[in-house]
Amino acid sequence: MPKYYGCPCEGCGKPLTLQDDIVVCPDCGAPYHRVCYEKLGQCIHRPAHAAGCEWKFPYEESQLRTCPSCGERTLRDEETCRCCGAVLPPEGQEPPSSRGSGEETFDYSQMYRQFGTSADPEKAFFEDAFGKEAKMDGIARQDWLDYIGPAAPAYLAAYSRMQLQKSKVSMSFSALLFGPFYFFYRKAWKPAFGFLAAELLLAAPTFIELLQLSGSALAPAMSTSALTVFARVCSVLSFVLMLVRGMYGKWLYRKSAADHIRRIQSEFPDARQRQAVLRAQGGVSFGAVFLCGLLLSVCGSAFTLLLGPDLQAILNAFYG
């Protein structure tokens, strides 16, 4: 049986409902509305704590019935549920369950409530990090959920942890391994094109070597030893860039997403319309990943044309 829902708040005496923010005295277990507890500044039973005072459930089992709407225990002699406010039908006339009698389901939200925790632990974690207004970067949590899509709980949990740790670092193996493709997939256009340009620049030693092998007039006058040093430097920088992507990928995605959400908020003040636009323009894009691959193919084709007739000689030099 749930321990607190439907019980009177020890501060104001009103029933504790499913919508209330409930806190519990760590010494005696007495439940309060958070506002009431903060207003009092301490538990009203504090003088009795030293004597081992413990809060007890105030109702007998014979006084209770189960609400068919929320599944919580409420008082039998009242017309509405003390937990959710739903009108209680006469006992024995509860609507039958839509599931078969032999089918059992597990109610996770009820499990959370029984153990005195929030039915949405990710939301509680987010509020701990960003305050009761639940705004990150000035944007409401619901807008983040609508924009990010199905992966939002994982991202918001990571952002909450980063906020509490006052850090911008949170490892993203997707960004680490897939590079610019990760940011194109997440529609983070600025970091996507930025990392793509960096990858192309760091591939310069390979391009120079191919130009020299082809005898192209565009090949820079660079000795073999200088080119080797340049290639090693670029290799180290490429490794560093990969680590930066992995460590700061989520933070960069957050900044990019925040810019997009603010723009949408300014253009669509109506909540319902804004929600539809956030879901349409947010989420992920396989098409952007395809375009990124196509862009790399075009760059490769352009370089192949630049090498011209000497390409076969280069291939013969590499493969015999």
What pLDDT sits at residue 92? 64
Q: What is the chain's mean pLDDT, rounded?
A: 81
d(CA 288, CA 59): 60
Q: What is the pLDDT of residues 265-279, one digit of tens each?
A: 999 988 888 889 999
Tell me which residue of 82, 25, 18, 16 sits closest to 55, measured CA to CA. Answer: 25
Q: Where are the domains of the chain?
A: 7-61, 121-165, 173-319
In the DSSP assignment, the letter for residue 80 is B
What pLDDT sits at residue 99? 43
d(CA 72, CA 315): 74
**Does the pLDDT value for residue 39 go beyond 80?**
yes
Structure tokens, 26: 């760590």
What pLDDT sits at residue 120? 66
What pLDDT sits at residue 316? 55
Whose tokens are 């619901």? That residue is 142
Q: How confident is the model at residue 58 (pLDDT cuts 50, 70, 90)?
A: confident
CA 51 to chain centre: 45
Whose tokens are 């009431």? That residue is 36
What pLDDT sits at residue 1? 35
Q: Which residue has the higher pLDDT, 311 or 20?
A: 20
CATH number for the domain running over 7-61: 3.30.40
- Residue 258: CB partners within 8 Å, gap ≥ 6? 136, 137, 139
In the DSSP assignment, the letter for residue 62 is G
Q: How confident is the model at residue 307 (pLDDT cuts 50, 70, 90)?
A: low
Question: Residue 241, CB half-sphere, CA atoms under 13 Å: how many?
Answer: 21
Question: Residue 203, CB half-sphere, CA atoms under 13 Å: how many?
Answer: 13
Tell me which residue of 278, 288, 309 sits closest to 152, measured CA to CA. Answer: 278
Q: What is the pLDDT of residues 177-211, one digit of tens each?
A: 998 999 999 999 999 999 999 998 998 888 888 77
**Does the pLDDT value for residue 147 go beyond 70?**
yes
Q: What size, in residues, is the chain?
A: 320
Tell me which residue of 55, 54, 76, 59 sits closest to 1, measured CA to CA. Answer: 59
